């Protein structure tokens, strides 16, 4: 009996260890919202940029020396190019001579049509100058990709996604300086069944040109994204589609991988950096940056792709605002906020003009990388402005806890309607600590603490739903907010996120 008991506990220990190891493994090399990534190899390592959608600054840029560990190093644009109005999607790196290029999608200010623009810089992570629109085609031109075929540059893109006709991947010649198209458009591949076709990337192996693309629905809880491939003996086609199953099966715990580009490592191995949803956190953390390998069979057969498992990365934040510039992880809704930020000597000041329709005020947020965390801050000044912590989806969907004078207020904006869920009066004006505790069931709890006192829950016993916040194609931002007169400000001395 004693031997059986020991064996049982040994089995239980092994089972627990295996499950803990499984829980600590993921394929996200760039955790959090990082859709449609592009990657390029440089003498100083690898750089990747991704979709920023309606958040500013635009197109976050990351750096890595091994393709598995990445650090954010900048943005392509601090301010939106003059011709654009939003929808900053699908950037694509390219390099000509000593110049770095970013081809990107954005909506044109004059008519809201998605076009492809291009920007150039001497550096891959900053200093980009916009060169304007390069592709304007019908109702929509998105997802640029550049290919060099024996010295002739081509640009390809997705067309007709908004038309009642088959979606096509079109292409045309590109000038040697990469700044203008030449000649007529021609079709590479057509989606007769309209199941989706976008995010193309092209490689040549042997006698074949391989056109990798993503099919299905990209976004949301009902996504069906997957990687497909077709090949041809000339760049212009015709391309024959691979009839097998999806080319890249996501790793366990992930789904809907796709829309990426290839890069060759220093060892000669091809890698594919794309995005996928974590099956648990889904739209809450958005489409995260994941990595796969590409290999070629010796018999000139179809390529093989395999997801790369990497150690779990859930980086937290501990910011005491000692530097003169805000950290790179901060973003905001540039359509509805113009933050005025000042930082240094342990203080972070947030203010700005708040429009009447923006009932959440100015939210300065970060990309969540988990659906289970504690987010805290210390509000160090006192005035009538409402200021504190917020979850922000849009001006019509937000949640926050903040101080105003000697009151702490828990508020929600749902379907555009602002409601104070609960409020309490505290003895001191400032400093006041605030906390949101987020649980994986898409609910959170809110807390406050006066100096030298323990946390007290506001709206005690109630879990507050936050599942209404993420939008179909992008997750919310979480962080600090200010709602008051332009002459007022919010001052914070700490900001922390501890992921679990």
The strand order across the sheet containing 129-135 reads 84-96, 99-108, 114-121, 129-135
Residue 8 forms part of a structural domain: no
Residue 222 forms part of a structural domain: yes
Residue 99 forms part of a structural domain: yes
Half-sphere exposure (Cβ direction) of 397: Cα atoms closer than 13 Å: 13
Residue 483 forms part of a structural domain: yes
Could you tell me if 351 and 302 lie in one domain? no
Catalytic residue (choose from 198, 288, 319, 371): 198
Could you tell me if 476 and 401 lie in one domain? yes
- Split into its structural domains, the chain has a count of 2
Could you tell me if 245 and 323 lie in one domain? no
What's the rounded Cα separation, in Å, for the pair 85 and 58? 12
How many CB atoms are closer than 10 A to CB 134? 21
Q: Residue 492: which of 388, 386, 390 has the closest Cα?
A: 388
Could you tell me if 417 and 442 lie in one domain? yes
pLDDT at 5 over 80: no
At 472 the pLDDT is 85
At 300 the pLDDT is 80
Burial of 143 (0-12, 13-18, 19+ CB in 10 A): buried
Could you tell me if 361 and 228 lie in one domain? no
What is the pLDDT confidence band of residue 10, given thresholds at 50, 70 and 90? very low
At 13 the pLDDT is 38
Q: Is 184 a catalytic residue?
A: no
Q: Is 182 a catalytic residue?
A: no
Tens of pLDDT, residue by residue over 319-356, are 999 999 999 999 999 999 999 999 999 999 999 988 88
Could you tell me if 251 and 141 lie in one domain? yes
Transcribe 112-153 into DSSP letters: --EEEEEEEESSSSS--EEEEEEE--TTBEEEEEEEEETTEE
At 12 the pLDDT is 38
Last residue of a domain, one of 280, 311, 342: 311
Last residue of a domain, one of 277, 311, 345: 311
Tens of pLDDT, residue by residue over 64-90, are 999 999 999 999 999 999 999 999 999
Task: Identify the DSSP state of 309.
Answer: P
Residue 4 forms part of a structural domain: no
At 298 the pLDDT is 87
Could you tell me if 299 and 343 lie in one domain? no
Q: How far is CA 145 from CA 171, 202, 346, 437, in A?
A: 9, 8, 44, 42
Residue 323 forms part of a structural domain: yes
Helix (H) / strand (E) element for 422: namely: strand 417-425
Could you tell me if 162 and 269 lie in one domain? yes
Return mean pLDDT, the chain.
Answer: 93
Burial of 19 (0-12, 13-18, 19+ CB in 10 A): exposed
At 18 the pLDDT is 32
At 26 the pLDDT is 63
At 25 the pLDDT is 58
Residue 3 forms part of a structural domain: no
CA angle (331 as vertex; 99, 411 as ends), nearest 5 = 170
Could you tell me if 284 and 359 lie in one domain? no
pLDDT at 16 over 60: no
Which structural domain, as residue segments, surrounds residue 429?
317-499
Cis peptide before 238 (omega within 30 of 0): yes
What is the pLDDT confidence band of residue 312, given thresholds at 50, 70 and 90? confident
Residue 261 forms part of a structural domain: yes
Show Cβ contacts of residue 396 under 8 Å, excluding neighbours closer than 6 positions. 413, 414, 415, 416
Give the CATH number, domain containing residue 62: 2.115.10.20
At 15 the pLDDT is 35
Catalytic residue (choose from 33, 36, 143, 168): 36
Could you tell me if 229 and 351 lie in one domain? no
What is the pLDDT confidence band of residue 442, given thresholds at 50, 70 and 90? very high
Last residue of a domain, one of 311, 344, 365: 311
């Amino acid at each position: 009996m004693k031997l059986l008991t020991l064996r049982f506990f040994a089995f239980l220990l092994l089972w627990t260890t295996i499950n803990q190891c499984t829980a600590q493994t993921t394929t996200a090399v760039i955790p959090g919202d990082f859709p449609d990534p592009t990657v390029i190899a440089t003498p100083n390592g690898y750089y990747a940029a991704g979709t920023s959608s309606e958040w500013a600054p635009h197109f976050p840029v990351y750096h890595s020396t091994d393709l598995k560990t990445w650090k954010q190093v900048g943005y392509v644009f601090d301010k939106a190019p003059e011709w654009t109005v939003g929808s900053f999607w699908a950037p694509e790196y390219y390099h000509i001579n000593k110049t770095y290029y970013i081809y990107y999608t954005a909506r044109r200010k004059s008519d809201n049509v998605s076009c492809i623009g291009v920007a150039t810089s001497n550096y891959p992570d900053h200093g980009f100058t916009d060169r304007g629109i390069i592709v304007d085609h019908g109702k929509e031109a998105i997802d640029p990709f550049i290919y060099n075929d024996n010295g002739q540059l081509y640009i390809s893109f997705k067309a007709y996604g908004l038309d009642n006709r088959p979606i096509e991947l079109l292409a045309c010649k590109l000038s040697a300086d990469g700044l203008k198209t030449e000649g007529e458009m021609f079709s590479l591949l057509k989606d007769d069944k309209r199941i989706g076709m976008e995010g193309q990337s092209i490689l040549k192996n042997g006698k074949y040109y391989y056109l990798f693309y993503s099919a299905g629905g990209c976004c949301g809880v009902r996504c069906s994204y997957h990687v497909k491939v077709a090949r041809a003996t000339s760049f212009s086609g015709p391309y024959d589609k691979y009839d097998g199953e999806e080319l890249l099966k996501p790793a366990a715990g992930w789904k809907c991988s796709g829309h990426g580009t290839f890069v060759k490592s220093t060892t000669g191995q091809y890698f594919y950096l794309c995005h996928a949803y974590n099956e648990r956190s889904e739209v809450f953390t958005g489409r995260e940056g994941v990595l796969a390998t590409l290999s070629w069979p010796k018999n000139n057969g179809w390529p093989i792709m395999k997801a790369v498992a990497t150690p779990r990365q859930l980086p937290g934040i501990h910011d005491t605002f000692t530097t003169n510039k805000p950290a790179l992880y901060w973003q905001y809704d540039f359509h509805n906020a113009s933050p005025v930020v000042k930082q240094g000597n342990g203080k972070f000041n947030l203010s700005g003009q708040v429009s009447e329709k923006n009932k959440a005020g100015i939210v300065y947020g970060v990309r969540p990388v988990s659906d289970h965390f504690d987010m805290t801050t210390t509000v160090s000044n006192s005035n009538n402005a409402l200021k504190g912590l917020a979850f922000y989806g849009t001006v019509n969907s937000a949640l926050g806890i903040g101080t105003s004078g000697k009151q702490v207020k828990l508020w929600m904006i749902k379907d555009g309607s602002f409601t104070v869920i609960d409020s309490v009066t505290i003895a001191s004006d400032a400093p006041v600590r605030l906390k949101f505790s987020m649980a994986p069931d898409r609910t959170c709890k809110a807390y406050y603490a006066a100096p030298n006192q323990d946390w007290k829950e506001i709206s005690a016993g109630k879990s507050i739903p936050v599942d209404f916040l993420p939008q179909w194609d992008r997750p919310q931002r979480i962080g600090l907010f200010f709602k008051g007169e332009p002459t007022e400000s919010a001052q914070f001395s700490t900001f922390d996120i501890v992921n679990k």
